[in-house]
Structure 1
């Protein structure tokens, strides 16, 4: 696949980002070594690029440390990939007075002047926040991240194979939908009218794999993450059957 065709396949990405990824692919093929991206990407990006493996003539892998990780680095190799340039840190920010949330930790990390793509997923657990980060910025974070808001914090670097690594907390539910159209699924998941769901889609308040999609008739596939602003985040796992009335039964994980 030439560069022009690749850029067309990933046209949802900024041109310089897509071009940089393609150059890494070509380099991996040329020197016959593992080449990884220096950033974490959202599902739409790594899923799309993984699907191009055969056309590009190289193995493509993605990794985000956590089970069910959403943001992942992408690796290109003619062989297998045994390690990735990523590290897991634990930000300890326990406070009797402040209930620290995901946005508090992310905001403090971003305030260090590091772009979002250098961080993977953040999972809150055990009075702290576990963060997947690019290896190259770990020392910088340890030196400069001293507080989350007004709460003092400390940093621990963990083994990525540690049993301490938390998992996402999901509520598994089965819902019945008349169609896998995004407006229909959102209506059911959020317990709102179909017209209200359509309105949310049109307003860009519904993200599919972290990207806006304004098509109310978009069909959702398994393993798709839907974020509905003001209502929550959901992962479509799979179709599990049909009801007697002809509706589709789908298994959904609701992020807690």
Structure 2
């Protein structure tokens, strides 16, 4: 990849862009088929942009179901259909007979799996169900998790591996908030959602601890728009659900949803 393309990416993204370029070149020049770990949406955008510049490479993204947020990518020479390759994804079902099991949330499951020494890149979307949890995992570490995941947040659990056609998904749930803000600036909305002063909201943004649509954003004045997903390290993430209009006093009314 020409170094000129680095201007399109945040410095934190250069290492991934280098890896992506190597995958693409191997597929184009050495006829390799590459299946990546799970990518977040921003990484998928970067890989797609780079792959589209190479006519001899085909790309397919698969997260186990159509609406998946995190997906594995398959890169192949253009004469092969990457969608014919196995996505390498299995469903880890987690259940328990303990009443405390019902109180477990997404973070509890994620923490328990990562606590086994598993890298985040090997884990796809996690769906917390009334009956337990279905977690999409890379097939190469699926058996290891099944054998070693014995408790989640001190609750003893049972695990089973299922094929993708038995996956149960859940809709994203939000805690909705109605805000009245002076503008759609990032720092102002983060301040209201995270209950921080404007001055305190600016500090983590400028320090590179804020992402907008999974891309690092260090400009506190960046205007947000409907559909934007914002995450602030240590404070979770939220989505701008709707920009509802302007009040009589000239302030912006909007609805945001904090991810539960």
Mapping 1:193-212, distance limit 5 Å: 193-202=197-206, 206-209=210-213
Quote the residue 1:124 is aligned against.
128
Quote the residue 1:51 is aligned against.
49
Quote the residue 1:84 is aligned against.
87
SS in 1 for 2:83: coil
**Distance in 1, Cα, partners of 2:2 & 2:109:** 38
1:109 aligns with 2:113: yes
Change (3 A) 1:163 1:104: closer
Quote the residue 2:12 is aligned against.
12
**Distance in 1, Cα, partners of 2:178 & 2:54:** 38
The 8 Å contact of residues 146 and 152 in structure 1, kept in 2 or not, is answered as yes
Quote the residue 2:26 is aligned against.
27
1:95 aligns with 2:94: no
SS in 2 for 1:81: helix
Quote the residue 2:172 is aligned against.
168
1:152 aligns with 2:156: yes
Q: State which drifts further: 104-113 or 157-166.
A: 157-166
Quote the residue 1:42 is aligned against.
40
The 8 Å contact of residues 17 and 46 in structure 2, kept in 1 or not, is answered as no
TM-score using structure 2 length: 0.75
Quote the residue 2:246 is aligned against.
243
Deviation per residue, 1:97-154 (Å, 9 max, x gap): 4643333322221232221211122232214222111111112222222222432211
In angstroms, what is the RMSD of aligned CA positions? 3.5
SS in 1 for 2:219: coil
**Distance in 2, Cα, partners of 1:86 & 1:6:** 32
Change (3 A) 1:249 1:157: farther
SS in 1 for 2:199: helix
**Distance in 2, Cα, partners of 1:50 & 1:249:** 35
Deviation per residue, 1:46-87 (Å, 9 max, x gap): 223333443233454433335654332233354562552222
The 8 Å contact of residues 123 and 168 in structure 1, kept in 2 or not, is answered as no
Quote the residue 1:219 is aligned against.
223
Q: Which runs of 5+ in 2 are unaligned?
A: none
**Distance in 1, Cα, partners of 2:177 & 2:74:** 33
The 8 Å contact of residues 74 and 82 in structure 2, kept in 1 or not, is answered as no
Shift of 1:234: 0.8
Shift of 1:251: 5.4
Q: Tell me the matched-pair count.
A: 252
